[in-house]
Amino acid sequence: MQFGIFTVGDLTPDPHSGRPPGEQERLKAMVAIARKAEEVGLDVFATGEHHNPPFVTSSPTTLLAYIAAHTEKLILSTSTTLITTNDPVKIAEDFAVLQHLSDGRADLMMGRGNTGPVYPWFGKDIRQGIPLAIENYALLHKLWREESVDWKGRFRTPLQGFTAVPRPLDGVPPFVWHGSIRSPEIAEQAAYYGDGFFANHIFWPTQHFQQLIELYRTRYAHYGHGTAEQAYVGLGGQIFMKKNSQDAIRTYRPYFDNSPVYRGGPALEEYIEQTPLSVGSPQEIIEKTLTFREHFGDYQRQLFLMDSGGIPLKTVLEQLDILGEEVLPVLRKEFALGRPADVPAGPTHAARAARAAGAR
Amino acid sequence: MKLVVIAAGLSEPSSTRLLADRLAGATGRLLPVRTRVVELRDLAVDIAKHLVSGFPSPALREVLEAVAAADGLIVVTPVFTASYSGLFKSFFDVLDRTALVGKPVLLAATGGSARHSLVLEHALRPMFSHLRAATLPTAVFAASPDWGSGAEAGGEELAGRIDRAAAELAAALGHAAPVRTNDELVPFAEQLAALGLD
Protein backbone atom coordinates (compact mmCIF):
# COMPACT_ATOMS: atom_id res chain seq x y z
CA MET A 1 0.00 0.00 0.00
CA GLN A 2 1.33 3.40 -1.01
CA PHE A 3 0.78 6.63 0.88
CA GLY A 4 1.35 10.09 -0.46
CA ILE A 5 0.10 13.60 -0.94
CA PHE A 6 -1.58 15.38 -3.81
CA THR A 7 -1.73 19.10 -4.44
CA VAL A 8 -3.78 21.39 -6.65
CA GLY A 9 -1.21 24.20 -6.47
CA ASP A 10 -3.70 26.90 -5.48
CA LEU A 11 -2.82 30.49 -4.58
CA THR A 12 -5.48 30.84 -1.88
CA PRO A 13 -4.66 33.71 0.55
CA ASP A 14 -3.74 32.78 4.10
CA PRO A 15 -6.81 33.99 6.03
CA HIS A 16 -4.57 35.32 8.83
CA SER A 17 -2.61 37.67 6.59
CA GLY A 18 -5.04 38.01 3.69
CA ARG A 19 -2.01 37.60 1.40
CA PRO A 20 -1.88 34.96 -1.34
CA PRO A 21 1.52 33.35 -1.97
CA GLY A 22 3.39 34.57 -5.04
CA GLU A 23 3.53 32.20 -8.01
CA GLN A 24 7.24 31.44 -7.66
CA GLU A 25 6.84 31.15 -3.89
CA ARG A 26 4.05 28.60 -4.36
CA LEU A 27 5.93 26.53 -6.95
CA LYS A 28 9.01 26.40 -4.72
CA ALA A 29 6.78 25.55 -1.74
CA MET A 30 5.42 22.58 -3.69
CA VAL A 31 8.98 21.39 -4.27
CA ALA A 32 9.77 21.80 -0.56
CA ILE A 33 6.59 19.87 0.29
CA ALA A 34 7.53 17.05 -2.09
CA ARG A 35 11.04 16.80 -0.63
CA LYS A 36 9.57 16.74 2.86
CA ALA A 37 7.18 13.99 1.77
CA GLU A 38 10.12 11.81 0.83
CA GLU A 39 11.97 12.71 4.04
CA VAL A 40 9.06 11.63 6.28
CA GLY A 41 8.67 8.32 4.43
CA LEU A 42 5.76 8.94 2.08
CA ASP A 43 5.73 7.10 -1.26
CA VAL A 44 3.99 9.44 -3.69
CA PHE A 45 3.75 13.11 -4.63
CA ALA A 46 1.08 14.05 -7.18
CA THR A 47 0.25 17.41 -8.70
CA GLY A 48 -2.90 18.65 -10.42
CA GLU A 49 -2.94 20.31 -13.84
CA HIS A 50 -4.78 23.62 -14.06
CA HIS A 51 -4.59 26.35 -16.66
CA ASN A 52 -6.42 29.16 -14.87
CA PRO A 53 -5.87 31.44 -11.87
CA PRO A 54 -5.55 30.96 -8.92
CA PHE A 55 -3.38 27.93 -9.80
CA VAL A 56 0.26 27.49 -10.86
CA THR A 57 0.26 23.88 -12.04
CA SER A 58 0.00 24.27 -15.81
CA SER A 59 3.10 22.19 -16.59
CA PRO A 60 3.17 19.06 -14.42
CA THR A 61 6.08 17.20 -16.02
CA THR A 62 8.34 20.27 -15.66
CA LEU A 63 7.56 20.44 -11.95
CA LEU A 64 7.79 16.67 -11.45
CA ALA A 65 11.11 16.38 -13.29
CA TYR A 66 12.57 19.11 -11.08
CA ILE A 67 11.30 17.25 -8.00
CA ALA A 68 12.68 13.98 -9.36
CA ALA A 69 16.12 15.58 -9.47
CA HIS A 70 15.85 16.44 -5.78
CA THR A 71 14.49 13.12 -4.53
CA GLU A 72 15.53 9.47 -4.56
CA LYS A 73 12.54 7.23 -3.93
CA LEU A 74 9.40 9.32 -4.25
CA ILE A 75 6.95 8.29 -7.01
CA LEU A 76 5.95 11.35 -9.05
CA SER A 77 2.41 11.40 -10.35
CA THR A 78 -0.39 13.68 -11.46
CA SER A 79 -3.87 14.31 -10.11
CA THR A 80 -4.83 14.75 -12.89
CA THR A 81 -3.39 14.99 -16.42
CA LEU A 82 -5.98 16.34 -18.85
CA ILE A 83 -6.53 13.53 -21.35
CA THR A 84 -9.20 15.61 -23.07
CA THR A 85 -7.22 18.72 -24.02
CA ASN A 86 -3.58 17.53 -24.15
CA ASP A 87 -2.41 15.91 -27.35
CA PRO A 88 -1.87 12.22 -26.50
CA VAL A 89 1.35 12.28 -28.54
CA LYS A 90 2.75 14.99 -26.25
CA ILE A 91 1.61 13.15 -23.11
CA ALA A 92 3.35 9.99 -24.36
CA GLU A 93 6.59 11.91 -24.92
CA ASP A 94 6.56 14.08 -21.79
CA PHE A 95 5.90 11.23 -19.41
CA ALA A 96 8.35 8.89 -21.12
CA VAL A 97 11.11 11.48 -20.63
CA LEU A 98 10.06 11.91 -17.00
CA GLN A 99 10.02 8.13 -16.57
CA HIS A 100 13.59 7.77 -17.89
CA LEU A 101 15.04 10.68 -15.90
CA SER A 102 13.34 9.59 -12.66
CA ASP A 103 14.43 5.94 -13.06
CA GLY A 104 10.87 4.76 -13.39
CA ARG A 105 9.41 6.82 -10.56
CA ALA A 106 6.68 8.31 -12.76
CA ASP A 107 3.03 7.43 -13.16
CA LEU A 108 0.01 9.53 -14.03
CA MET A 109 -3.70 9.93 -13.54
CA MET A 110 -6.11 10.76 -16.34
CA GLY A 111 -8.81 13.38 -15.76
CA ARG A 112 -11.02 15.83 -17.58
CA GLY A 113 -10.22 19.13 -15.88
CA ASN A 114 -11.71 21.46 -13.30
CA THR A 115 -13.57 23.83 -15.60
CA GLY A 116 -15.49 23.77 -18.88
CA PRO A 117 -13.65 26.72 -20.47
CA VAL A 118 -10.38 24.72 -20.50
CA TYR A 119 -11.63 22.95 -23.65
CA PRO A 120 -11.64 26.00 -25.95
CA TRP A 121 -8.28 27.17 -24.49
CA PHE A 122 -6.82 24.12 -26.21
CA GLY A 123 -9.05 24.13 -29.27
CA LYS A 124 -11.37 21.38 -28.07
CA ASP A 125 -15.14 21.05 -27.75
CA ILE A 126 -16.52 20.50 -24.25
CA ARG A 127 -19.52 18.63 -25.65
CA GLN A 128 -17.04 15.90 -26.66
CA GLY A 129 -15.58 15.52 -23.13
CA ILE A 130 -16.10 11.77 -22.71
CA PRO A 131 -15.41 10.81 -26.37
CA LEU A 132 -12.17 12.87 -26.20
CA ALA A 133 -11.14 11.06 -23.02
CA ILE A 134 -11.82 7.69 -24.67
CA GLU A 135 -10.20 8.34 -28.05
CA ASN A 136 -7.14 10.20 -26.73
CA TYR A 137 -6.41 7.52 -24.19
CA ALA A 138 -6.85 4.75 -26.76
CA LEU A 139 -4.10 6.48 -28.78
CA LEU A 140 -1.84 7.10 -25.78
CA HIS A 141 -2.15 3.44 -24.80
CA LYS A 142 -1.09 2.40 -28.30
CA LEU A 143 1.80 4.90 -28.53
CA TRP A 144 3.44 3.39 -25.46
CA ARG A 145 2.97 -0.18 -26.62
CA GLU A 146 3.57 -0.14 -30.37
CA GLU A 147 6.81 1.02 -32.01
CA SER A 148 5.15 2.05 -35.22
CA VAL A 149 1.65 3.47 -34.88
CA ASP A 150 -0.92 3.84 -37.63
CA TRP A 151 -3.86 5.78 -36.33
CA LYS A 152 -7.03 7.39 -37.46
CA GLY A 153 -9.43 9.00 -35.02
CA ARG A 154 -12.10 11.67 -34.87
CA PHE A 155 -10.28 14.34 -32.94
CA ARG A 156 -6.77 14.66 -34.35
CA THR A 157 -4.86 14.26 -37.59
CA PRO A 158 -4.03 10.66 -38.54
CA LEU A 159 -0.64 9.08 -37.79
CA GLN A 160 1.25 6.84 -40.17
CA GLY A 161 4.18 4.78 -38.96
CA PHE A 162 4.70 7.19 -36.06
CA THR A 163 7.06 6.29 -33.22
CA ALA A 164 6.73 8.12 -29.90
CA VAL A 165 10.17 8.68 -28.39
CA PRO A 166 11.72 7.91 -26.02
CA ARG A 167 10.25 4.43 -25.78
CA PRO A 168 8.97 3.58 -22.27
CA LEU A 169 11.74 2.63 -19.81
CA ASP A 170 12.43 -1.15 -19.93
CA GLY A 171 9.50 -1.42 -22.34
CA VAL A 172 7.05 -0.80 -19.49
CA PRO A 173 4.73 2.19 -19.87
CA PRO A 174 4.08 4.38 -16.82
CA PHE A 175 1.21 3.05 -14.69
CA VAL A 176 -2.03 4.87 -15.41
CA TRP A 177 -4.84 5.77 -13.03
CA HIS A 178 -8.16 7.13 -14.23
CA GLY A 179 -9.70 9.70 -11.91
CA SER A 180 -13.39 10.41 -11.76
CA ILE A 181 -15.89 11.75 -9.28
CA ARG A 182 -19.11 10.80 -11.04
CA SER A 183 -18.72 9.18 -14.47
CA PRO A 184 -19.34 5.44 -14.77
CA GLU A 185 -17.85 5.65 -18.29
CA ILE A 186 -14.45 6.39 -16.76
CA ALA A 187 -14.69 3.54 -14.24
CA GLU A 188 -15.55 1.30 -17.20
CA GLN A 189 -12.58 2.65 -19.17
CA ALA A 190 -10.15 1.96 -16.29
CA ALA A 191 -11.56 -1.57 -15.96
CA TYR A 192 -11.33 -2.27 -19.69
CA TYR A 193 -7.60 -1.50 -19.81
CA GLY A 194 -6.81 -3.04 -16.43
CA ASP A 195 -5.57 0.36 -15.25
CA GLY A 196 -6.03 1.88 -11.81
CA PHE A 197 -9.10 3.82 -10.72
CA PHE A 198 -8.70 6.79 -8.41
CA ALA A 199 -11.67 8.25 -6.53
CA ASN A 200 -10.80 11.71 -5.28
CA HIS A 201 -13.07 10.91 -2.32
CA ILE A 202 -12.99 14.36 -0.72
CA PHE A 203 -15.69 17.02 -0.53
CA TRP A 204 -18.49 14.41 -0.76
CA PRO A 205 -19.80 11.61 1.46
CA THR A 206 -18.19 8.21 1.12
CA GLN A 207 -21.28 6.46 -0.26
CA HIS A 208 -21.06 8.78 -3.27
CA PHE A 209 -17.95 6.87 -4.37
CA GLN A 210 -18.84 3.35 -3.28
CA GLN A 211 -20.98 2.63 -6.35
CA LEU A 212 -18.28 3.87 -8.74
CA ILE A 213 -15.55 1.76 -7.15
CA GLU A 214 -17.83 -1.25 -6.95
CA LEU A 215 -18.58 -0.83 -10.66
CA TYR A 216 -14.85 -0.52 -11.47
CA ARG A 217 -13.96 -3.64 -9.46
CA THR A 218 -16.75 -5.72 -11.03
CA ARG A 219 -15.85 -4.68 -14.56
CA TYR A 220 -12.10 -5.17 -13.90
CA ALA A 221 -12.87 -8.80 -13.17
CA HIS A 222 -15.26 -8.97 -16.15
CA TYR A 223 -12.42 -7.99 -18.51
CA GLY A 224 -10.22 -10.74 -17.10
CA HIS A 225 -7.48 -8.68 -15.44
CA GLY A 226 -7.90 -10.47 -12.11
CA THR A 227 -10.49 -10.72 -9.39
CA ALA A 228 -12.53 -7.70 -8.30
CA GLU A 229 -10.43 -7.59 -5.12
CA GLN A 230 -7.24 -7.35 -7.20
CA ALA A 231 -8.26 -4.19 -9.07
CA TYR A 232 -6.09 -1.12 -8.45
CA VAL A 233 -7.95 1.41 -6.32
CA GLY A 234 -6.66 4.78 -5.16
CA LEU A 235 -8.42 7.15 -2.78
CA GLY A 236 -8.05 10.78 -1.80
CA GLY A 237 -8.32 12.20 1.68
CA GLN A 238 -7.77 15.46 3.50
CA ILE A 239 -6.24 15.73 6.96
CA PHE A 240 -5.18 18.29 9.55
CA MET A 241 -3.68 17.20 12.84
CA LYS A 242 -2.71 18.56 16.24
CA LYS A 243 -1.86 16.72 19.41
CA ASN A 244 -5.43 17.09 20.59
CA SER A 245 -8.67 17.37 18.71
CA GLN A 246 -9.76 20.80 19.96
CA ASP A 247 -6.49 22.45 18.90
CA ALA A 248 -6.70 20.83 15.47
CA ILE A 249 -10.23 22.11 14.92
CA ARG A 250 -9.46 25.58 16.28
CA THR A 251 -6.34 25.94 14.11
CA TYR A 252 -7.96 24.55 10.97
CA ARG A 253 -11.28 26.45 11.19
CA PRO A 254 -10.12 29.75 9.62
CA TYR A 255 -8.74 27.82 6.61
CA PHE A 256 -12.00 25.89 6.32
CA ASP A 257 -14.19 28.98 6.65
CA ASN A 258 -12.24 30.77 3.90
CA SER A 259 -11.77 27.76 1.65
CA PRO A 260 -12.96 28.27 -1.94
CA VAL A 261 -14.47 24.78 -1.77
CA TYR A 262 -15.93 24.60 1.72
CA ARG A 263 -17.00 28.13 2.67
CA GLY A 264 -20.65 29.09 2.93
CA GLY A 265 -22.00 25.54 3.20
CA PRO A 266 -22.22 22.96 5.96
CA ALA A 267 -20.09 23.69 9.04
CA LEU A 268 -16.65 22.15 9.63
CA GLU A 269 -18.14 19.68 12.11
CA GLU A 270 -20.74 18.55 9.56
CA TYR A 271 -18.07 18.02 6.91
CA ILE A 272 -15.97 16.00 9.34
CA GLU A 273 -18.99 13.88 10.22
CA GLN A 274 -20.30 13.37 6.68
CA THR A 275 -17.21 13.34 4.42
CA PRO A 276 -13.67 11.89 4.55
CA LEU A 277 -12.28 15.23 5.83
CA SER A 278 -10.26 14.37 8.98
CA VAL A 279 -9.38 17.10 11.46
CA GLY A 280 -8.24 15.99 14.88
CA SER A 281 -5.60 14.14 16.86
CA PRO A 282 -3.27 11.70 15.07
CA GLN A 283 -5.30 8.86 16.59
CA GLU A 284 -8.52 10.25 15.09
CA ILE A 285 -6.86 10.60 11.68
CA ILE A 286 -5.71 6.99 11.89
CA GLU A 287 -9.13 5.68 12.87
CA LYS A 288 -10.96 7.56 10.15
CA THR A 289 -8.47 6.61 7.44
CA LEU A 290 -8.77 2.95 8.41
CA THR A 291 -12.52 3.10 7.79
CA PHE A 292 -11.78 3.70 4.08
CA ARG A 293 -10.80 0.05 3.75
CA GLU A 294 -14.14 -1.01 5.25
CA HIS A 295 -15.98 1.03 2.62
CA PHE A 296 -13.89 0.20 -0.45
CA GLY A 297 -11.93 -2.99 0.29
CA ASP A 298 -8.14 -3.35 0.40
CA TYR A 299 -6.65 -0.73 -1.88
CA GLN A 300 -3.32 0.34 -3.32
CA ARG A 301 -2.81 4.06 -2.92
CA GLN A 302 -3.92 6.67 -0.40
CA LEU A 303 -3.22 10.32 -1.23
CA PHE A 304 -3.85 13.16 1.22
CA LEU A 305 -4.53 16.80 0.37
CA MET A 306 -2.58 18.87 2.90
CA ASP A 307 -1.48 22.16 1.38
CA SER A 308 -4.57 23.78 -0.08
CA GLY A 309 -6.74 26.64 1.16
CA GLY A 310 -3.99 29.04 2.21
CA ILE A 311 -2.22 26.89 4.82
CA PRO A 312 1.31 28.34 5.05
CA LEU A 313 4.32 26.24 4.04
CA LYS A 314 5.69 26.11 7.59
CA THR A 315 2.44 24.55 8.85
CA VAL A 316 2.29 22.08 5.95
CA LEU A 317 5.83 20.90 6.71
CA GLU A 318 4.92 20.48 10.40
CA GLN A 319 1.83 18.51 9.37
CA LEU A 320 4.00 16.23 7.24
CA ASP A 321 6.29 15.62 10.20
CA ILE A 322 3.33 14.52 12.34
CA LEU A 323 2.02 12.38 9.48
CA GLY A 324 5.39 10.66 9.06
CA GLU A 325 6.11 10.17 12.74
CA GLU A 326 2.78 9.37 14.32
CA VAL A 327 0.28 8.39 11.63
CA LEU A 328 2.09 6.67 8.77
CA PRO A 329 3.75 3.84 10.75
CA VAL A 330 0.41 2.88 12.31
CA LEU A 331 -1.44 3.07 8.99
CA ARG A 332 1.17 0.88 7.29
CA LYS A 333 0.90 -1.70 10.07
CA GLU A 334 -2.90 -1.68 10.29
CA PHE A 335 -3.53 -1.74 6.53
CA ALA A 336 -1.17 -4.73 6.23
CA LEU A 337 -3.15 -6.69 8.84
CA GLY A 338 -5.52 -9.14 7.22
CA ARG A 339 -4.61 -7.97 3.73
CA PRO A 340 -4.97 -11.03 1.45
CA ALA A 341 -1.68 -12.10 -0.14
CA ASP A 342 -3.13 -11.97 -3.66
CA VAL A 343 -4.18 -8.31 -3.40
CA PRO A 344 -1.48 -6.38 -5.27
CA ALA A 345 0.71 -3.76 -3.61
CA GLY A 346 0.82 -0.23 -4.97
CA PRO A 347 2.21 -0.25 -8.53
CA THR A 348 5.98 0.38 -8.92
CA HIS A 349 8.12 0.36 -12.02
CA ALA A 350 10.50 -2.22 -10.54
CA ALA A 351 7.72 -4.75 -9.87
CA ARG A 352 6.04 -4.16 -13.23
CA ALA A 353 9.34 -4.39 -15.12
CA ALA A 354 10.17 -7.67 -13.35
CA ARG A 355 6.73 -9.05 -14.23
CA ALA A 356 7.12 -7.98 -17.87
CA ALA A 357 10.58 -9.59 -18.04
CA GLY A 358 9.13 -12.78 -16.54
CA ALA A 359 6.36 -12.81 -19.15
CA ARG A 360 8.95 -12.46 -21.93
CA MET B 1 -48.50 2.79 -4.02
CA LYS B 2 -46.27 5.54 -2.66
CA LEU B 3 -47.29 9.17 -2.98
CA VAL B 4 -44.96 11.97 -1.89
CA VAL B 5 -46.38 15.45 -1.39
CA ILE B 6 -44.00 18.41 -1.54
CA ALA B 7 -45.32 21.57 0.12
CA ALA B 8 -43.22 24.74 -0.04
CA GLY B 9 -45.40 26.99 2.14
CA LEU B 10 -43.64 28.98 4.83
CA SER B 11 -46.31 30.25 7.18
CA GLU B 12 -48.04 28.32 9.94
CA PRO B 13 -50.79 27.48 9.25
CA SER B 14 -50.04 27.44 5.56
CA SER B 15 -52.64 27.58 2.79
CA THR B 16 -50.09 25.75 0.60
CA ARG B 17 -50.06 22.88 3.09
CA LEU B 18 -53.84 23.01 3.27
CA LEU B 19 -54.11 22.64 -0.51
CA ALA B 20 -51.53 19.85 -0.43
CA ASP B 21 -53.55 17.95 2.17
CA ARG B 22 -56.80 18.44 0.24
CA LEU B 23 -55.20 17.06 -2.94
CA ALA B 24 -53.61 14.12 -1.12
CA GLY B 25 -56.87 13.36 0.68
CA ALA B 26 -58.88 13.40 -2.55
CA THR B 27 -56.36 11.06 -4.19
CA GLY B 28 -56.40 8.74 -1.19
CA ARG B 29 -60.17 8.38 -1.47
CA LEU B 30 -59.81 7.00 -4.99
CA LEU B 31 -56.82 4.72 -4.55
CA PRO B 32 -55.04 3.01 -1.65
CA VAL B 33 -51.86 5.10 -1.33
CA ARG B 34 -49.23 5.57 1.30
CA THR B 35 -48.86 9.32 1.51
CA ARG B 36 -45.87 11.21 2.85
CA VAL B 37 -46.02 14.98 3.14
CA VAL B 38 -42.73 16.88 3.10
CA GLU B 39 -42.68 20.52 4.19
CA LEU B 40 -39.66 22.09 2.53
CA ARG B 41 -39.49 24.70 5.27
CA ASP B 42 -38.00 22.02 7.55
CA LEU B 43 -35.26 21.37 5.00
CA ALA B 44 -34.55 24.98 3.99
CA VAL B 45 -31.07 25.17 5.56
CA ASP B 46 -30.13 21.67 4.35
CA ILE B 47 -31.16 22.58 0.79
CA ALA B 48 -29.03 25.75 0.87
CA LYS B 49 -26.07 23.78 2.21
CA HIS B 50 -26.48 21.19 -0.53
CA LEU B 51 -26.37 23.93 -3.18
CA VAL B 52 -22.98 24.97 -1.81
CA SER B 53 -21.42 21.61 -0.88
CA GLY B 54 -22.84 19.42 -3.64
CA PHE B 55 -24.11 16.71 -1.32
CA PRO B 56 -27.19 16.33 0.91
CA SER B 57 -27.36 16.10 4.68
CA PRO B 58 -28.64 12.72 5.91
CA ALA B 59 -32.15 14.18 6.45
CA LEU B 60 -32.32 15.72 2.99
CA ARG B 61 -30.85 12.61 1.35
CA GLU B 62 -33.60 10.52 2.88
CA VAL B 63 -36.25 12.84 1.39
CA LEU B 64 -34.57 12.93 -2.04
CA GLU B 65 -34.51 9.13 -2.02
CA ALA B 66 -38.18 9.00 -1.03
CA VAL B 67 -39.05 11.28 -3.96
CA ALA B 68 -37.05 9.10 -6.35
CA ALA B 69 -38.77 5.98 -5.01
CA ALA B 70 -42.29 7.47 -5.12
CA ASP B 71 -44.87 6.30 -7.66
CA GLY B 72 -46.26 9.82 -7.98
CA LEU B 73 -45.93 13.34 -6.61
CA ILE B 74 -48.11 16.24 -5.63
CA VAL B 75 -46.11 19.48 -5.63
CA VAL B 76 -47.47 22.71 -4.19
CA THR B 77 -45.72 26.08 -4.07
CA PRO B 78 -46.81 29.52 -3.00
CA VAL B 79 -46.45 32.18 -5.69
CA PHE B 80 -43.55 34.48 -4.84
CA THR B 81 -42.64 37.37 -7.14
CA ALA B 82 -44.71 36.04 -10.03
CA SER B 83 -43.25 32.50 -9.94
CA TYR B 84 -42.62 29.44 -7.77
CA SER B 85 -40.78 30.16 -4.54
CA GLY B 86 -36.97 30.02 -4.50
CA LEU B 87 -37.07 27.25 -1.92
CA PHE B 88 -39.35 25.15 -4.13
CA LYS B 89 -37.03 25.62 -7.12
CA SER B 90 -33.90 24.94 -5.07
CA PHE B 91 -35.30 21.63 -3.87
CA PHE B 92 -35.80 20.46 -7.45
CA ASP B 93 -32.37 21.88 -8.35
CA VAL B 94 -30.71 19.44 -5.95
CA LEU B 95 -32.90 16.47 -6.89
CA ASP B 96 -31.24 13.91 -9.17
CA ARG B 97 -32.12 14.97 -12.70
CA THR B 98 -33.56 11.55 -13.58
CA ALA B 99 -35.59 11.12 -10.37
CA LEU B 100 -38.89 12.22 -11.91
CA VAL B 101 -38.62 10.68 -15.37
CA GLY B 102 -42.02 9.33 -16.39
CA LYS B 103 -43.50 9.95 -12.96
CA PRO B 104 -47.05 11.38 -12.61
CA VAL B 105 -46.84 14.83 -11.01
CA LEU B 106 -49.82 16.90 -9.94
CA LEU B 107 -48.96 20.62 -10.06
CA ALA B 108 -50.53 23.06 -7.63
CA ALA B 109 -49.93 26.56 -6.31
CA THR B 110 -51.39 29.10 -3.95
CA GLY B 111 -51.46 32.88 -4.12
CA GLY B 112 -53.21 35.99 -2.97
CA SER B 113 -55.00 36.52 -6.24
CA ALA B 114 -56.25 34.38 -9.12
CA ARG B 115 -54.37 36.75 -11.44
CA HIS B 116 -51.28 34.60 -10.75
CA SER B 117 -52.87 31.28 -11.67
CA LEU B 118 -51.02 30.86 -14.98
CA VAL B 119 -47.80 30.49 -12.98
CA LEU B 120 -48.73 26.81 -13.08
CA GLU B 121 -48.53 26.77 -16.87
CA HIS B 122 -45.76 29.31 -17.42
CA ALA B 123 -43.36 28.36 -14.61
CA LEU B 124 -44.12 24.98 -13.05
CA ARG B 125 -45.08 22.95 -16.09
CA PRO B 126 -41.96 23.79 -18.16
CA MET B 127 -39.74 23.01 -15.19
CA PHE B 128 -41.30 19.58 -14.72
CA SER B 129 -41.28 18.97 -18.47
CA HIS B 130 -37.54 19.58 -18.34
CA LEU B 131 -37.31 16.90 -15.65
CA ARG B 132 -39.34 14.67 -17.99
CA ALA B 133 -42.09 14.17 -15.43
CA ALA B 134 -45.56 13.21 -16.64
CA THR B 135 -47.42 16.30 -15.47
CA LEU B 136 -51.18 15.87 -15.23
CA PRO B 137 -53.48 17.98 -17.42
CA THR B 138 -55.27 19.62 -14.51
CA ALA B 139 -53.14 21.86 -12.34
CA VAL B 140 -54.77 23.43 -9.30
CA PHE B 141 -54.42 27.04 -8.23
CA ALA B 142 -56.00 28.26 -5.00
CA ALA B 143 -56.21 32.01 -4.45
CA SER B 144 -57.21 33.45 -1.10
CA PRO B 145 -60.87 33.97 -2.14
CA ASP B 146 -61.11 30.28 -3.14
CA TRP B 147 -60.92 29.30 0.51
CA GLY B 148 -64.27 31.03 1.12
CA SER B 149 -66.96 28.48 1.77
CA GLY B 150 -69.66 29.07 -0.84
CA ALA B 151 -69.98 28.85 -4.57
CA GLU B 152 -70.02 32.62 -4.76
CA ALA B 153 -66.49 32.85 -3.33
CA GLY B 154 -65.25 30.08 -5.58
CA GLY B 155 -65.03 27.47 -2.81
CA GLU B 156 -67.05 24.81 -4.57
CA GLU B 157 -65.22 25.47 -7.75
CA LEU B 158 -61.89 24.77 -6.00
CA ALA B 159 -63.28 21.54 -4.58
CA GLY B 160 -64.27 20.51 -8.09
CA ARG B 161 -60.79 21.22 -9.45
CA ILE B 162 -59.21 19.27 -6.61
CA ASP B 163 -61.40 16.25 -7.35
CA ARG B 164 -60.67 16.41 -11.06
CA ALA B 165 -56.91 16.65 -10.51
CA ALA B 166 -57.00 13.85 -7.94
CA ALA B 167 -58.92 11.64 -10.37
CA GLU B 168 -56.27 12.23 -13.02
CA LEU B 169 -53.49 11.41 -10.56
CA ALA B 170 -55.27 8.26 -9.36
CA ALA B 171 -55.77 7.12 -12.96
CA ALA B 172 -52.11 7.74 -13.78
CA LEU B 173 -50.97 5.91 -10.64
CA GLY B 174 -53.25 3.03 -11.60
CA HIS B 175 -51.02 2.28 -14.56
CA ALA B 176 -47.82 3.93 -13.44
CA ALA B 177 -44.58 2.80 -15.02
CA PRO B 178 -42.18 1.01 -12.64
CA VAL B 179 -39.67 3.25 -10.87
CA ARG B 180 -36.61 3.70 -13.07
CA THR B 181 -33.01 3.44 -12.04
CA ASN B 182 -30.44 5.49 -13.89
CA ASP B 183 -27.49 3.13 -13.97
CA GLU B 184 -27.35 2.06 -17.54
CA LEU B 185 -23.83 0.89 -18.25
CA VAL B 186 -22.54 1.16 -21.79
CA PRO B 187 -19.94 -1.62 -22.31
CA PHE B 188 -16.56 -0.17 -23.30
CA ALA B 189 -16.45 -1.95 -26.65
CA GLU B 190 -19.61 -0.05 -27.60
CA GLN B 191 -18.05 3.25 -26.48
CA LEU B 192 -15.02 2.54 -28.68
CA ALA B 193 -17.19 1.39 -31.59
CA ALA B 194 -19.20 4.63 -31.40
CA LEU B 195 -15.96 6.46 -32.12
CA GLY B 196 -14.99 4.09 -34.92
CA LEU B 197 -12.14 2.66 -32.81
CA ASP B 198 -11.44 -1.02 -32.16
pLDDT the model gives residue B178:
43
Side-chain-side CA neighbours of residue A254 (13 Å): 12
Question: Any chain B CB within 8 A of the CB of A260?
Answer: no
- What pLDDT does B24 receive? 97
Q: Which of A99-103, A281-285, B140-144, B184-188 has the lowest mean pLDDT?
A: B184-188
Phi, psi torsion values for B37, nearest 5 degrees:
-100, 130
Could you tell me which chain A residue has the CA closest to the CA of B46? A266
B54 and chain A: CB distance < 8 Å anywhere?
Answer: yes
Q: Does B55 touch chain A (CB under 8 A)?
A: yes
Q: Name the residue facing B185 among A184, A203, A266 (closest C-beta).
A: A184
What's the whole-number mean pLDDT along residues A20-38?
A: 98
pLDDT at residue A334, rounded to an integer: 98
Q: Give tens-digit pLDDT for B19-33.
A: 999 999 999 999 999
Do B187 and A188 count as a contact with CB atoms less than 8 A apart? yes
Given pLDDT bands bounded at 50, 70 and 90, which one contains residue A111? very high
Flag whether residue B45 sits within 8 Å of chain A, measured between CB atoms. no
Closest by CA to A38, choosing from A13, A10, A8, A73, is A73
According to the model, what pLDDT value does residue B189 have? 85
Determine, for residues B57 and A270 on separate chains, whether the beta-carbon distance falls below 8 Å. Answer: yes
The per-residue pLDDT for B182 is: 45
Q: Does A208 touch chain B (CB under 8 A)?
A: yes
Is the predicted pLDDT of residue B187 greater than 90, yes or no?
Answer: no
The rounded percent of chain A whose pLDDT value lies above 90 is: 90
Chain A residue with the nearest C-alpha to that of B194: A131
B58: closest chain A residue by CA: A274
Query: How does residue A268 score in pLDDT terms, banded at 50, 70 and 90?
Result: very high
Residue A344 has pLDDT above 70, yes or no: yes
Whether A257 shows a pLDDT value over 50: the answer reads: yes
Confidence of residue B155 (pLDDT cuts 50, 70, 90): low
What is the length of chain B? 198
pLDDT of B180: 40
Please write the tens of the pLDDT for every residue from A52-88: 999 999 999 999 999 999 999 999 999 999 999 999 9
Burial label for A337, CB within 10 Å (0-12, 13-18, 19+), is exposed
Is A189 in contact with B49 (Cβ distance < 8 A)?
no
* A262 contacts in chain B (CB < 8 Å): 53
pLDDT in tens, B47-61: 999 999 999 999 999
- Return the minimum-mean-pLDDT range out of A39-43, A137-141, B103-107, B154-158: B154-158
Name the residue facing B55 among A192, A205, A219 (closest C-beta).
Answer: A205
Q: What's the confidence (pLDDT) of residue A130? A: 87
Q: By CB neighbour count within 10 A (0-12 exposed, 13-18 middle, 19+ buried), where does A17 fall?
A: exposed
Percent residues over pLDDT 70 in chain B: 91
**Mean pLDDT across A6-13:** 96
Distances (CA, A) of A252 to A16, A227, A273, A278: 11, 41, 15, 11
Taking the C-alpha atoms of residue B40 and residue B60, their distance in angstroms, rounded to an integer, is: 10
User: Are B36 and B65 a contacting pair, CB within 8 Å?
Assistant: no
Q: Which residues of B touch A146 (CB under 8 A)?
A: none
Place B184 in a pLDDT band, splitting at 50, 70 and 90.
low
* pLDDT at residue B154, rounded to an integer: 58
pLDDT in tens, A163-203: 999 999 999 999 999 998 888 889 999 999 999 999 998 88
Sign of CA dihedral A56, A60, A63, A64: positive
Q: How many residues does chain A have?
A: 360
